[in-house]
Amino acid sequence: MSNPFFEDWNTPYGIPPFDRIQNEHYLEAFERGFAEQNVEIDRITQNQAPANFTNTIEALERSGALLAKTGMVFSNLSSSDTNDSLQAIELALAPKYAAHEGRLLNNQALFERVKQVYSSLPEADLDADQVKLCEDAYTRFVRAGAALEEQARDQVMALDETLAELQTQFSQNLLKDTNEFELVIDATEDIAGLSQTTLQAAKAEAQQRGKTNSYVFTVSRSSITPLLQFADSRELREKMYRAYIRNGANDNANNNQPLVSQIATLRLQRAQLLGYSSHAHYMLDDRMAKNPANVSELLGQIWQPTQKKVAQEAQDLQTMIQERGDNFELAPWDWWYYTEKLRSERYALDEDQIKPYFKLENVRDGAFDVAHRLFGLTFELVNDVPVYHPDVLSYQVKDADGSLIGLFLVDYFMRPTKQGGAWMSEFRAQSNLDASVRPIVVNCCNFPKSTPCLLTMDEVRILFHEFGHGLHGLLSQVRYESQSGTNVKQDFVELPSQIMEHWATEPSVLRNYARHVDTGETIPDVLIDKLLAADTFNQGFATTEYLAASYLDMAWSGLEAPTMLGVDEFEAKAMAAINLIDVVGPRYNSGYFQHIFAEDNYSAGYYAYIWAEVLDADGFEAFKENGIFDPATALSFRQNVLERGGTAEAMGLYQAFRGRAPAVEPLLRKRGLLTTSST
CA distance 602 to 586: 16
For 148-176, how does the pLDDT look when each residue is reduced to its tens digit (9 = 90+)? 999 999 999 999 999 999 999 999 999 99
10 Å CB burial of residue 661 (0-12, 13-18, 19+) is exposed
Residue type, 406: G
CA distance 640 to 649: 11
Cβ atoms 621, 628 nearer than 8 A: no
User: E strands, 207-272, where?
Assistant: 214-217
Q: Please give the pLDDT value at position 1.
A: 67
Dihedral sign (CA 641, 609, 409, 633): negative
Q: Please give the pLDDT value at position 309.
A: 95
Q: What is each CA distance from 102 to 144, 273, 284, 286, 288, in whole angstroms?
A: 7, 15, 21, 18, 25
Dihedral sign (CA 300, 302, 305, 306): negative
CA distance 456 to 505: 13
10 Å CB burial of residue 568 (0-12, 13-18, 19+) is middle
CA distance 491 to 498: 12
Q: Please give the pLDDT value at position 191.
A: 85
Q: Rounded mean pLDDT of 214-220?
A: 90
User: What is the percent of the chain with per-residue pLDDT over 90, rounded to a whole number?
Assistant: 88
Beta-strand relationship, 378-382 and 440-447: unpaired
CA distance 55 to 49: 8
Cβ atoms 9, 74 nearer than 8 A: no
Q: Residue 607: which pLDDT band, with cuts at 50, 70 and 90?
A: very high
DSSP 23: H
DSSP string, 505-567: T-HHHHHHH-B-TTT-PBPPHHHHHHHHHTTTTTHHHHHHHHHHHHHHHHHHHT-SS---S-H
Q: Please give the pLDDT value at position 54.
A: 98
Q: Please name which of 430, 455, 442 lies closest in space to residue 392, comparing C-alpha atoms.
A: 442
Strand partners, 184: 216
349-378 core/surface letters (b: 16 or more CB in 10 A; e: else): bbbbebbbbbbbebbbebbbbbbebbbbbb
CA distance 220 to 228: 12
Q: Rounded mean pLDDT of 330-345?
A: 94
Q: Please give the pLDDT value at position 675.
A: 56
Cβ atoms 96, 30 nearer than 8 A: yes
CA distance 191 to 197: 13
Model confidence at 228: pLDDT above 70: yes
Helices 494-504 and 360-375 sit at what angle, rounded to 10 degrees? 110
For 540-579, how does the pLDDT look when each residue is reduced to its tens digit (9 = 90+)? 999 999 999 999 999 999 999 999 999 999 999 999 999 9
Beta-strand relationship, 440-447 and 404-413: parallel
Cβ atoms 61, 480 nearer than 8 A: yes
Cβ atoms 538, 339 nearer than 8 A: yes
Q: Rounded mean pLDDT of 339-348?
A: 91
Q: Please give the pLDDT value at position 678.
A: 33
Residue type, 313: E
DSSP 253: T
For 76-97, how does the pLDDT look when each residue is reduced to its tens digit (9 = 90+)? 999 999 999 999 999 999 999 9
DSSP string, 499-519: HHHHHHT-HHHHHHH-B-TTT
Q: Please give the pLDDT value at position 111.
A: 98
CA-only gyration radius of the chain, Å: 25
Catalytic annotation, residues: 466
**Cβ count within 10 A of residue 214:** 18
Residue-range domains of the chain with CATH:
4-174 (1.10.1370.40), 181-245 (no CATH), 356-533+609-670 (1.10.1370.40)
For 363-399, how does the pLDDT look when each residue is reduced to its tens digit (9 = 90+)? 999 999 999 999 999 999 999 999 999 999 999 999 9
For 637-675, how does the pLDDT look when each residue is reduced to its tens digit (9 = 90+)? 999 999 999 999 999 999 999 999 999 899 988 888 875
Model confidence at 347: pLDDT above 50: yes
Q: Please give the pLDDT value at position 676.
A: 42
Q: Please name which of 449, 494, 491, 434 lies closest in space to residue 469, comparing C-alpha atoms.
A: 494
88 phi, psi to nearest 5 deg: -65, -40
Q: Rounded mean pLDDT of 504-509?
A: 97
Cβ atoms 594, 603 nearer than 8 A: no
Q: In angstroms, how far apart are the furthest CA atoms of the chain?
A: 85
The per-type count for the chain, helices as H runs and strands as E runs, is 27, 7
Helix (H) or strand (E) holding 406, with range, is: strand 404-413
Residue type, 162: T
Q: Residue 349: which pLDDT band, with cuts at 50, 70 and 90?
A: confident
Q: Please give the pLDDT value at position 524.
A: 95
Q: Please give the pLDDT value at position 481.
A: 98
SS3 content of the chain, % helix, strand, coil (to 5): 60, 5, 35
For 388-430, how does the pLDDT look when each residue is reduced to its tens digit (9 = 90+)? 999 999 999 999 999 999 999 999 999 989 998 899 999 999 9
User: What is the percent of the chain with per-residue pLDDT over 70, rounded to a whole number?
Assistant: 99
Q: Please give the pLDDT value at position 190.
A: 76
Q: Residue 30: which pLDDT band, with cuts at 50, 70 and 90?
A: very high
Model confidence at 211: pLDDT above 90: no
Q: Please name which of 476, 366, 478 lies closest in space to residue 424, comparing C-alpha atoms.
A: 476
28-40 core/surface letters (b: 16 or more CB in 10 A; e: else): ebbebbbeebbeb
